[in-house]
Amino acid sequence: MNYSSRWLTAAPNKTQMMKKESPFHARHMSPPLGESSPPHPASSTMATPLSRRWTHVDLLMLLMALIWGVNFAVIKIALREFHPLSFNAIRFFLASSLLTLAVWRQAGIRRWRTIERRDLRHLIGLGILANCFYQIAFIHGINLTLAGNAALILGATPVLTTLLSAWRGHEQLGPRSILGVAASFLGVALIVVSTHQTIRFSGTFMGDLLILSCTVLWSIYTVGLQPLIPKYGYMECTRLAMIAGTVPLIVFSLPSLLRQSWDRVDIVAWGALLFSAAGAIALCYSIWTYGVRQLGNTRTAAYANLTMPFALLVAWIMLGERPGLGQLGGLLAILGGLYLTRTDWRNKLPADPAA
């Protein structure tokens, strides 16, 4: 018997549910932060078609990609003064603190007590993967490979996310979604080649392997969060996962923090760190989780490849680096892939696990 059938056979009638409800239940089992009350189990057993209409969620995803694109230039400014591991540890600590304050203000500390122990372990594991192991692998991988290799491998993140999501049964994908993800990856490849970034896989095996592990870790994080977001809200899931990853990241970064020359860090570097912590981490991670809740894994991941075109746009505006025809062609391929994925009427999400 599948999951939905168990809900159908075990669902109590309305009279029984009213008898079991208590003031304690009403107070501590309220809807998750930023979410509405889940529907009755019997009404949520069928896969839910995703809307093809462009909504405020898409605008938020575009904002996320823009901030991440700007963040490349911002990080370069900050790393003139900060050690990479020190920079990461501080910005994740600040981002975790900001998210905690936001949740406190909206829901209060009692909200945390409603999380089941098994789900909490799940969130902690995902947080360590995405916010600790990912960051360490990325920092060291970039140093051991070429920029072109890294961009091309990271461009495969939506592909891996789509495959993992389909394997886990989180989404029913149509041919438009599959074609859109492929077009998006080809667009990234075209931008990398036309930017004259060197791509060479000889002598860069360890760096390429670390960057590839980043794509796998982020895909696992994205797909793993999806069943938990309807139960606890996107802000709470993002916050707990971030704290879980920040603690070991700080421990791993302690030698770098102790060696950091704090007197050399100027106000510009601190401003860059604050932007990266509040914008690229706290805000964008929350938008990403919200996108997974509203659009599904595949559609959300498709927006990730817009980061590179936005980075090129920032370089054009700030540095005068005009994009070439190949880069514009890559942008069109990414936008076309996003359109195909976003408008696939066959793309469906299963019923909420929390329902």
At 319-347, the pLDDT tens digits run 666 777 777 887 788 888 888 877 776 65
Most confident of 138-147, 188-197, 240-249: 240-249
> Higher-confidence residue: 318 or 288?
288
pLDDT > 70? residue 221 = yes
- Angle at which helix 84-107 crosses helix 234-259, to 10 degrees, equals 150
Domain count, the chain: 1
Which pLDDT does position 7 carry in this prediction?
36
- Domain-located, residue 20: no
Please give the Cα distance from 16 to 19 (Å, whole number): 5
Residue pair 344/177 in contact by the 8 Å Cβ criterion? yes
- Domain-located, residue 95: yes
At 18-68, the pLDDT tens digits run 444 344 343 334 344 444 444 433 333 344 555 567 788 999 999 999 998
Instruction: Mention every residue, 6+ apart, whose C-beta is less than 8 A from residue 22.
Output: none
- Domain-located, residue 159: yes
What is the pLDDT confidence band of residue 3, given thresholds at 50, 70 and 90? Answer: very low
Average pLDDT, the chain: 78
- Domain-located, residue 240: yes
pLDDT > 90? residue 268 = yes
Q: What percent of the chain has pLDDT over 70?
A: 75
- Domain-located, residue 58: no
- Domain-located, residue 12: no
Instruction: Mention every residue, 6+ apart, whose C-beta is less than 8 A from residue 110.
Output: 28
- Domain-located, residue 243: yes
- Angle at which helix 205-225 crosses helix 134-144, to 10 degrees, equals 150
- Domain-located, residue 99: yes
Which pLDDT does position 244 carry in this prediction?
96
Which pLDDT does position 354 carry in this prediction?
42
Q: Which domain holds residue 279?
A: 70-349
> Higher-confidence residue: 176 or 252?
252
